[in-house]
């Protein structure tokens, strides 16, 4: 990794003006809050996703950095409010299984505004998804990649893709709030490129009360579907600004990727984060650094050679 230009690890909005040059942008989505199981926090909310890309700025550029907040934990005395930047609120019940709220996404925008301002949301060029909250004997869903994730088992960290993806979800940038229910309410959905869709409350099959995580987006990444300035899908992965990233990495919240401190982590816990660093031709690749240098795989060496060329 190159020298860090700036790193933000608290939920917030920040602006930065970058001189022309090559930079690596990294975003970590926030984790969902922990819901209650008979008034005890047993199963954690879904961990955040990670995205990274290299950008070659030709002009001085002002950017706005929105760092997502971790979802709040379930609480029998008050509703869990969604994490900053798109996490949905948690649902509540009549006794002790109040749901965690969704984690917010972390993104970088060209247009400033309130976090949920439509034009500001449409100007996002890179987004890392937040995880959904957990509830009643079930984990939350980890932040998604091209697709969101849902939970497929009670009491187990087992997941599959949800219906939230590059063109479908609750809203661009906003996860849906969980539904109140007498027995088991649904958790807050995660924020993301598309925020996740909320599940329904349930009596049994408790995992069905876990809402979807959000999705991630990086301009130029194959499989992404960008919107134009009016919010209409273009079926192209390239943002309307024509800003395109290279050397893109997109990992969902179940995977191993670099942590903000430069180590590695499996899914991102807690609040989201954003780092901008000078690009020096080397990108931290967790799949490579698991090995010591002498046993670097050929594939890893190829990656490094490509980055250096």
Minimum Å gap between C-beta 18 and Ca ion is: 47
234 binds Ca ion (CB under 5 A): no
95 binds Ca ion (CB under 5 A): yes
Contact 52, 24 (CB under 8 A): yes
93 binds Ca ion (CB under 5 A): yes
Q: Is 230 exposed, middle or buried (0-12, 13-18, 19+ CB in 10 A)?
A: exposed
203 binds Ca ion (CB under 5 A): no
- 161 Cβ contact list (under 8 Å, min separation 6): 144, 147, 148, 149, 150
Residue number with CB closer to Ca ion (76 or 297): 76
Minimum Å gap between C-beta 43 and Ca ion is: 15
- Cα angle value 282/285/291 (rounded, 5°): 115
Minimum Å gap between C-beta 289 and Ca ion is: 44
Helix (H) or strand (E) holding 23: strand 21-28
**Which residue's CB atom is positioned nearest to Ca ion?**
97
Minimum Å gap between C-beta 203 and Ca ion is: 9
- 209 Cβ contact list (under 8 Å, min separation 6): 91, 99, 135, 136, 138, 178, 181, 184, 185, 186, 187, 199, 200, 201, 202
Contact 172, 188 (CB under 8 A): no
- Cα angle value 200/171/28 (rounded, 5°): 95
Euclidean distance between CA atoms 283 and 302, whole angstroms:
13
76 binds Ca ion (CB under 5 A): yes
Return the range that interacts with Ca ion (CB under 5 A); candidates 20-28, 95-103, 172-180, 209-217.
95-103
Residue number with CB closer to Ca ion (95 or 158): 95
| Diameter over CA atoms, the chain | 61
Residue number with CB closer to Ca ion (98 or 252): 98
Return the range that interacts with Ca ion (CB under 5 A); candidates 96-104, 112-120, 159-167, 272-280.
96-104
Minimum Å gap between C-beta 37 and Ca ion is: 9
Measured CA to CA in angstroms, residue 6 lies from 118, 236, 244, 305 at distances of 26, 30, 21, 27
Alpha-carbon radius of gyration of the chain: 19
Under rule CB under 5 A, which residues in 166-185 are in contact with Ca ion?
A: 183
107 binds Ca ion (CB under 5 A): no
Query: Which of 26, 97, 252, 255 contacts Ca ion by CB under 5 A?
Result: 97
39 binds Ca ion (CB under 5 A): no
Euclidean distance between CA atoms 251 and 226, whole angstroms:
18
Return the range that interacts with Ca ion (CB under 5 A); candidates 22-30, 75-83, 123-131, 298-306.
75-83
- 104 Cβ contact list (under 8 Å, min separation 6): 11, 29, 30, 68, 69, 71, 82, 83, 84, 85, 86, 87, 130, 191, 272
Minimum Å gap between C-beta 89 and Ca ion is: 14
Minimum Å gap between C-beta 22 and Ca ion is: 51
Residue number with CB closer to Ca ion (95 or 229): 95
Minimum Å gap between C-beta 96 and Ca ion is: 6
Residue number with CB closer to Ca ion (85 or 89): 89
Residues that bind Ca ion (CB under 5 A): 76, 92-93, 95, 97-98, 183
């Amino acid at each position: 990794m190159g020298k860090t230009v700036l790193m933000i690890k608290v939920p917030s909005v920040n602006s930065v003006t970058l001189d022309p040059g090559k930079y690596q942008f990294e975003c970590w989505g926030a984790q969902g809050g922990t819901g209650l199981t008979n008034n005890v926090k047993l199963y954690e909310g879904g961990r955040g996703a990670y995205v990274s890309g290299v950008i070659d700025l030709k002009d001085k550029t002002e950017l706005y950095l929105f760092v997502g907040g971790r979802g709040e934990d379930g609480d029998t005395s008050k509703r869990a409010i969604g994490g900053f930047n798109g996490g949905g609120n948690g649902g509540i019940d009549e006794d002790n299984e109040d749901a965690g709220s969704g984690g917010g996404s972390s993104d970088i925008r060209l247009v400033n505004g309130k976090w949920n301002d439509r034009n500001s949301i449409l100007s996002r060029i890179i987004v890392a998804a937040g995880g959904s909250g957990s509830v009643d004997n079930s984990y939350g869903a980890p932040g998604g990649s091209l697709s969101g994730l849902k939970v497929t088992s009670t009491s187990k960290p087992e997941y599959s893709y949800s219906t939230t993806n590059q063109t479908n979800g609750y809203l661009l940038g906003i996860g849906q709030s969980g539904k109140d229910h007498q027995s088991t309410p649904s958790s807050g959905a995660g924020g993301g490129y598309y925020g996740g869709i909320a599940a329904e409350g349930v009596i049994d099959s408790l995992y069905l009360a876990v809402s979807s995580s959000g999705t991630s987006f990086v301009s130029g990444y194959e499989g992404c579907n960008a919107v134009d300035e009016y919010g209409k899908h273009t079926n192209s992965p390239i943002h309307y600004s024509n800003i395109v990233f290279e050397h893109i990495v997109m990992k969902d919240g179940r995977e191993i990727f670099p942590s903000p401190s430069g180590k590695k982590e499996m899914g991102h816990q807690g609040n989201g984060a954003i780092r901008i660093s000078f690009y020096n031709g080397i990108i931290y690749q967790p799949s490579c650094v698991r090995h010591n240098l002498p046993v670097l795989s050929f594939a890893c060496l190829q990656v490094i050679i490509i980055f250096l060329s």
